[in-house]
């Protein structure tokens, strides 16, 4: 059996975008909502961690919320070694949840009652309808919060990109949103400095499409 080894060429990145259509020009700088909250807490002596006594108590609350439930949390905080050595301000798990509820929140939830009318008649001959609860948040406020979150600062991409499978740049790879043709072509139509901010409104990991469009969604 003959084995041949071929040299693998890793994908080669091209320039992000041509100079004439530079994206994402800085118009002005201003503090984000998170920075406003941080500055406000720093000005309050002893409240750098909001309702928590210090960073250690903050870490304790984060660990409890992630790893144990209400009953186990109460038992944990009532242990003599925790009460005597830890000297936490939390007397029970409910106090932990109350502290968390005092933290700043993002876009608030709004409730609306919606009446949905079906296409089948009921026993009385009238079309069936149902009253449903709809909870939603303002999309613009959510987008503003996401863009201003410092945790995502190094994870965001604001420019279209071309990624090639071959060194000649003839075989494009499109495995990210900013590598698609639409973003690249849309950026060309925008004025210098404009930035495209695509938003995925819905994503379902459990949904796949059949090879034959006539078969519908499986």
The pLDDT assigned to 123 comes to: 85
Mean pLDDT value of segment 108-117: 91
pTM above 0.85, yes or no: no
Tell me phi and psi for residue 79, to 5 degrees. -60, 135
Q: Are the C-beta atoms of residues 99 and 61 closer than 8 Å to each other?
A: yes
Least-confidence region, from 54-63, 66-75, 174-183, 200-209:
200-209
Confirm if 66 and 100 have CB atoms less than 8 A apart.
no
Going by pLDDT thresholds of 50, 70 and 90, the confidence category of residue 1 is very low
Higher-scoring residue by pLDDT: 208, 79: 79
Task: Write down the residue that tokens 């600062």 correspond to.
Answer: 153
SS3 of the chain: helix, strand, coil, percent, to 5: 35, 15, 50
Using alpha carbons only, how large is the chain's radius of gyration in Å? 27
Classify residue 42 as exposed, middle or buried by CB count within 10 Å of its CB (0-12, 13-18, 19+): exposed
How would you class 87 by CB atoms within 10 Å of its CB: exposed for 0-12, middle for 13-18, buried for 19 or more? exposed
For the chain, the average pLDDT equals: 77
Of 134 and 177, the structure prediction assigns the larger pLDDT to 134
Judged against a pLDDT cut of 80, whether residue 166 lies above it is answered with no
**Is residue 3 scored above 80 in pLDDT?**
no
């Amino acid at each position: 059996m003959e084995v041949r080894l071929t040299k693998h060429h890793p994908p080669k990145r091209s320039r992000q975008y041509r100079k004439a259509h530079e994206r994402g020009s800085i118009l002005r700088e201003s503090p984000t909502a998170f920075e406003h909250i941080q500055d406000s807490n720093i000005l309050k002596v002893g409240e750098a961690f909001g309702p928590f006594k210090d960073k250690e108590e903050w870490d304790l609350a984060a660990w409890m919320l992630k790893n144990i439930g209400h009953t186990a949390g109460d038992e944990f905080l009532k242990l003599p070694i925790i009460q005597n050595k830890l000297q936490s301000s939390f007397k029970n798990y409910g106090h932990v949840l109350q502290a968390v509820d005092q933290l700043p929140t993002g876009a608030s939830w709004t409730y609306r009652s919606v009446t949905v009318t079906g296409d089948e008649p009921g026993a009385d001959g009238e079309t069936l309808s149902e009253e449903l609860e709809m909870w939603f948040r303002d999309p613009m406020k959510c987008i503003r919060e996401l863009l201003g979150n410092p945790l995502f600062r190094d994870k965001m991409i604001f420019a279209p990109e071309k990624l090639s499978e071959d060194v000649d740049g003839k075989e494009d790879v499109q495995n990210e949103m900013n590598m698609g043709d639409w973003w690249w072509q849309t950026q060309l139509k925008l004025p210098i400095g404009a930035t495209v901010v695509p938003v995925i409104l819905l994503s379902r990991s459990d949904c796949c499409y059949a090879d034959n469009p006539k078969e519908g969604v499986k």
